[in-house]
Amino acid sequence: MSANRTEQIHSYCIHCAALCGIVAYVKDGYLVKVEGDPNSDNNAGTLCPKGLSAKQEIYHPGRLKYPMKRTRPKGDADPGWQHISWDEALNTMAARMSEIKALYGPESFFFQKGSTGGSSGSEWYRFFGRLSSLYGSPNHGGTGHICCYSRSCPGLPLHFGNKGLHPSIDYEKTNFILLVGYNILHTEPPLARKILDAQQRGAKLVVIDPVLAPTAAKADIWLAPRPGTDLALFLAMHHVIIHEGLVDADFLKYWTNAPFLVRDDNGLFVSSDGNPYLVWNAKERAPQPANPWFPSHVEPALNGSYSVNGISCRPAWQLFTDMVEACSPEWAEKMTWVEAEDIRRVARLYANTKPASTDWYNGLHKSSNGYYTAVALALLSVVTGNWDVPGGLSFESDPTFKDVKGSQHLPEGWINNSLVAAAGFKARAYNKEYVGPMNLVADAILTGKPYPIKGMLALASGMGTSNPNSKKMMDALKQLDFLVMGDIWETPAMAMADIILPCATHWESEFVNYNPPYLMHRRPIVEPQHEAWPDLKIIFELAKRLGFGKEFWDGDIKKAFNTMLEPFKVTVDDLDASPPGVRYAPPPQPYRRYAATDEKSGKPKGVATPTGKLELYSEKLKTLGYDPLPAWREPEPGPVSTPDLFREFPLILSSGFKPMHWLHGQLRAVPWLRECDKEPSVWINRRTAQKLGIPEGERVMVETPKRDGTIQGNVVLKAVLTEAVHPQVIYIPYGWWQGCDSLALEGYGSLDGSANVNNLYDDSFTDPVSGTIGMVSYPCRVRKE
């Protein structure tokens, strides 16, 4: 950067998925300010508080400044951190990792990264995955178990065949937006403009959220179910849609497995003469092969009961309708606290408005019934013909960058040797998903079963506060033979680390990405402060020392970017030659992908599910030992499923939505942001607070039980009295651990007496399909401190 003049650097913020284009003003290598780039399609010149605070984040005096190693035993109040060089840090890491691999096998080393929604992990995770694959460990996880499993991971591939693709709404075309547990106006602020514009032209916004979050406050209709009972709400909506004839029957017949005949005796599909699936042809009153696709003389029956070769059977749709028959709005009112008439109103509005879209996020995942809840919600789009159509529930295009994750380097049969397979999460193993649930890792460390986990490299991961049952996680980290943690700040979990690494902020690092309308090389807008390194550089340098130099482009990150850019036929040099980047127009969003024609056969390709169709009924789940249909099940824990716990702990603890100024557990040290929200709090309904004698602003203790009724943990918070939560529900914002020196606000730690809501959960309540931990409907009690 040239001296004595202010340079304008085009880049983008990657603190959230919105990827806002920015212009950084840099003088003599110093960041003066950041502005939204008016030419960016994503944000059109706007930035949220996190982006605008870049300068305070970069130059914060409390950042980790250099690599350090502990000199005192774990458990000492003072780890005796000693400044070491990057060479010493990386050489030690490579030596200890090789030793652990030789002694216990590669699976005994865990690669942990924090949320891809924070820092630049959503970019560098590809190379982190490559490193773990080359090392040979099938145990590589993030935060999906408390974030997005039921949005993209286990639910959608099996039923709908689109692994890893996120819902994507075309807000200009949709006439109905159903958002569930997704405070999108704050978590992806540039989308707020699109949603409010859609409302202005007449689209309806319906928000389902137990808390009156900012997005719910803008809704045309807000439904506030009892936390964890969204599944009952969706089943009742299906009930109304079926009863009132609002189903798109043609779509069900031809693009889903709704007409496939299911045996009454074992729940598997009826097969015959080499045909794996049969339907009942209503025109000829006879069975007919369903595979590959129906000729025109077939009219597949959706309802009824039949006999095929002496086997009694029914179409999958009949089983689905039988299941939801009991789920009337009146039944759901008892389960959810939402009035039956409101459920009817929303179901009718949704089914009668075309196109109607839906999207969901964190709020739906932290529940022991999250898997089936997401499936039932997604099926609303299927049964009404809103699936993968413009303005309906569509999905992102396949990523265009060349895949560099290197999963081909994993040893043969790796999934069978993973913790996820050993723990019995068969659907996840079938989908070949990395381990994910961090409680499995903590259990393996503490018990040595199914095999010991001895070492861990964790980047951008505040494990001491970001995982349920923080106490257990901290105990587990303490037991590791070798733990390295890299981050921007010293987090509570680092008290258990052997080496800590100072990471660069994303503003000080580089990557290549599509930031409409540009393909962009995000160069550092300033050099990393102190001795910080970008995560990517750490990964590449460690890879070389572990002997993977060749597979890591001999440490040349630019060459790695050029590999990623190959599909676009441009290089990093091309991107740099025309700042802010090269204009790129992606192919138009594909729709109706289920109907795309296979060039060879001339027939529809279908979707990547076991049956090739969208699946209302999953035979694969059935054979794996799970329910093939998204039938109602209470969340665990909960006032109905664990009434004994609720006798002593009568309130329902819910935690979830984050406001615009926070990025999960990060950034609370940044004063401009901390001024928005100075103190951790608990939201209590005014009537409940009055009964408990708790005035506004009082410091209160929230306590929760373990599964056996003994105390799990407590937190101490400021009471905020509100009408935004139900009288039986309290709400605790998550992510609080850090202080803010410039506002004289001290940090809180992560265990009892802290402000860390994750200290309150026993992690043994899990969704049997996905492994997601039951956190939305947790028993608790509140008292004055």
648/675 with CB nearer ligand SF4: 675
The CA-based dihedral angle spanning residues 174, 175, 176, 182, taken in that order and rounded to the nearest 10 degrees: 40
Q: 104: buried, middle or exposed (CB in 10 Å: 19+, 13-18, 0-12)?
A: middle
> What span, in angstroms and rounded, lies between the C-alpha atoms of 371 and 373?
5
50/69 with CB nearer ligand SF4: 50
43/353 with CB nearer ligand SF4: 43
Q: Which two tokens stand for residue 708?
A: 């056996």
The CA-based dihedral angle spanning residues 192, 198, 204, 209, taken in that order and rounded to the nearest 10 degrees: -10
Min CB(362)–ligand SF4 separation in Å: 16
Min CB(371)–ligand SF4 separation in Å: 28
426/506 with CB nearer ligand SF4: 506
Min CB(185)–ligand SF4 separation in Å: 11
Which residue in 21, 182, 171 sits closest to 522, CA to CA?
21
Which residue in 122, 597, 139 sits closest to 399, CA to CA?
122
First to last CA, the chain: 55
40/654 with CB nearer ligand SF4: 40
| Distance from the Cα of residue 753 to its chain's centroid | 28
Min CB(50)–ligand SF4 separation in Å: 4
Of all residues in this chain, which one has the CB nearest to ligand SF4 in the complex?
51
193/544 with CB nearer ligand SF4: 193
40/256 with CB nearer ligand SF4: 40
User: What's the 3-state SS for 565-633?
Assistant: HHHHCCCHHHHHHCCCCEECCCCCCCCCHHHCECCCCCCECCCCCCCCCECCCCHHHHHCCCCCCCCCC
Compute the C-alpha angle 299/300/303, nearest 5°.
Answer: 125
Please, are residues 317 and 259 in contact by the beta-carbon 8 Å criterion? yes
Size (the chain), residues:
785
Query: How many CB atoms lie under 10 A from the CB of residue 759?
Result: 26
Min CB(49)–ligand SF4 separation in Å: 7
Min CB(489)–ligand SF4 separation in Å: 17
18/423 with CB nearer ligand SF4: 18
Min CB(750)–ligand SF4 separation in Å: 24
Query: How many CB atoms lie under 10 A from the CB of residue 9?
Result: 19
20/100 with CB nearer ligand SF4: 20
Min CB(118)–ligand SF4 separation in Å: 9
42/288 with CB nearer ligand SF4: 42
53/108 with CB nearer ligand SF4: 53
* One-letter amino acid for residue 53 of the chain: S
**Ramachandran assignment for 502, one of left (phi > 0), alpha (psi -120 to 50 degrees), beta (any other):** beta
Please, are residues 485 and 464 in contact by the beta-carbon 8 Å criterion? no
Query: b/e string for 683-712 if b means 16 or more Cβ within 10 A?
Result: bbbeebbeebebeeebebbbbbbeeeeeeb
Min CB(47)–ligand SF4 separation in Å: 4
Min CB(732)–ligand SF4 separation in Å: 23
Please, are residues 419 and 441 in contact by the beta-carbon 8 Å criterion? yes
| Distance from the Cα of residue 260 to its chain's centroid | 32
Binding region for ligand SF4 (CB under 6 A):
13, 15-16, 18-20, 43, 47-48, 50-51, 189-190
Please tell me what DSSP assigns to residue 108.
G
Residues 6+ apart with CB under 8 A from 187: 16, 361, 657, 658, 660
52/652 with CB nearer ligand SF4: 52
Q: Which two tokens stand for residue 712?
A: 């799990």
47/240 with CB nearer ligand SF4: 47
Please, are residues 181 and 208 in contact by the beta-carbon 8 Å criterion? yes
Compute the C-alpha angle 702/771/761, nearest 5°.
Answer: 10
> What span, in angstroms and rounded, lies between the C-alpha atoms of 319 and 170?
33
Min CB(123)–ligand SF4 separation in Å: 13
Min CB(283)–ligand SF4 separation in Å: 55
16/519 with CB nearer ligand SF4: 16
119/386 with CB nearer ligand SF4: 119
* Cis before 292 (ω within 30): yes
11/491 with CB nearer ligand SF4: 11
Residues 6+ apart with CB under 8 A from 2: none
> What span, in angstroms and rounded, lies between the C-alpha atoms of 450 and 422?
7
Min CB(120)–ligand SF4 separation in Å: 11
User: What three-state secondary structure class fits 37?
Assistant: coil
Min CB(20)–ligand SF4 separation in Å: 3
390/671 with CB nearer ligand SF4: 671
Residue 659 backbone dihedrals phi, psi, to 5 degrees:
-80, 170
Query: b/e string for 619-629 if b means 16 or more Cβ within 10 A?
Result: bbbbebebbbb
Min CB(51)–ligand SF4 separation in Å: 3
Min CB(34)–ligand SF4 separation in Å: 9
Helix runs in 111-188, H state only: 121-135, 149-152, 155-160, 184-187
Min CB(503)–ligand SF4 separation in Å: 18
